[in-house]
Amino acid sequence: MSVQSLQHYCLAIPDLGIGRKFYEDFGLEAEDRGDHVALRCAGRNQDQVILVEGAVRQLHHISFGTNESSLISIRKEIYKSGTQLVDPPNCVSQDGLWFRDPEGALVNVRVAESAPWADAPKWQINTPGHCIRKGVRGGPPRDIVVKPRRLGHVMTFAANIQRQEEFYTQVLGLCLSDRSQDIVTFLHCAGGSDHHVIAFLSDAKRGFHHASFEVANVDEVGFGGRHMIAKGYRDGWGFGRHAIGSNFFHYIRDPWGGMAEYFCDIDYIPAGTMWEAQNWPAESSLYLWGPDVPEDFPVNFENME
């Protein structure tokens, strides 16, 4: 019994046009569906971001996919936890179960598989004693267009990350990957997934921190970040490498203070792996190396407009 994939996240924002432009500049493909905008990664038949109108920017919901038998089991666990199912919102597909997690965030679990995503060319790197790339230039052209392959994970703020960890593991069947003190906790899918599909960062109230999108390699992380900054968007943080999850990263601020992250080379935890979750020291909670952490990186901008 568990959720098996992260399907999409939905943001309510004051201006759909501005939100659409941000994500299109980021490299996603948009479709206007009347009452909402859906965004997908090139070559992937799966909504990754949904934008709906709202008075202020806030997380609207997060959607996970599972199979039919697990959906039945999850429904039972939801009731056992004392959580009530709620009516689905009118602005999106109403399939599956809808409920609020302990922080009050709206969650959807539906029968859905993770759609295939576009393969990336094999990344050939020369290292001391291992000359793999021979007779071929390694640097890409300056005019490459960065197109994320898939949505990897979402991080949200939570007032009680321990309570969130317990709910998402016990009710939805996710597994603890790692945590860092009382700062942040990371969860993966039991059937095999990236190091984390959802994470919770401690704050006094719930909110949306960032969503992360996989690109082909380190060059695309770098080019993507520089492209967005050249477009006039604010640098969120990067280029660097995380300790927890190991991925390279570059964050870009959206027009309302949230962030979208380019990433590559994240740890993967297969089903049945004896993965030992660690409680990392605070100094390793955010990164191994990179620029100093911006003062506003952990700031919750939700409902601050």
- For 292-303, write each residue's pLDDT tens digit: 999 999 999 986
Binning pLDDT at 50, 70 and 90, where does residue 171 land?
A: very high
In whole angstroms, what is the distance from residue 28 CA to residue 37 CA?
A: 12
Question: At 169, is the secondary structure helix, strand, or coil?
Answer: helix
pLDDT, average across residues 231-241: 97
Mean pLDDT on 54-79: 96
Once rounded to an integer, what is the mean pLDDT over residues 47-57?
Answer: 95
Cis previous bond, 239, omega within 30: yes
Domain ranges of the chain: 5-111+148-284
Q: At how many degrees (to 10) do helices 16-26 and 218-230 cross?
A: 140
pLDDT at 305 over 60: no
pLDDT at 49: 98
Please give the average per-residue pLDDT across 229-241, as a whole number: 97
Q: Give me the half-sphere count of Cα atoms (radius 13 Å) on the Cβ side of residue 282.
A: 3
Secondary structure in 3-state letters for 31-97: EECCCEEEEECCCCCCCCEEEEECCCCEEEEEEEEECHHHHHHHHHHHHHCCCCECCCCCCCCCCCE
pTM of the predicted protein model? 0.96
The pLDDT, as a whole number, for residue 91 is: 75
Report the pLDDT value the prediction gives residue 303, as an integer from 0 to 100.
Answer: 64
Residue 7 pLDDT: 97
Q: Cα–Cα distance between 117 and 110 in angstroms, integer?
A: 20
| Distances 164 to 28, 154, 249 between C-alpha atoms, Å | 30, 14, 25
At residue 90, the pLDDT reads: 83
pLDDT value at position 92? Answer: 79
pLDDT in tens, 70-125: 999 999 999 999 999 999 998 777 799 999 999 999 999 999 999 999 999 899 99
DSSP-derived secondary structure for 111-157: E-PPPP----------BTTB--S-SS--SPPTT------EEEEEEEE
3 CB contacts (<8 Å, ≥6 apart)? 64, 65, 66, 70, 74, 109, 172, 173, 174, 189
Buried b (16+ CB within 10 A) or exposed e, 274-303: eeeeeebeeeebbbeebeeeeeebbebbbe
Residue 40 has pLDDT above 70, yes or no: yes
Fold classified for 5-111+148-284: 2,3-Dihydroxybiphenyl 1,2-Dioxygenase; domain 1 (3.10.180)
Q: In the predicted model, is pLDDT for residue 304 greater than 80?
A: no
pLDDT in tens, 173-206: 999 999 999 999 999 999 999 999 999 999 999 9
Per-residue pLDDT band at 263 (split at 50, 70, 90): very high
pLDDT of residue 198: 98
Phi/psi of residue 220, nearest 5 degrees = -70, -30
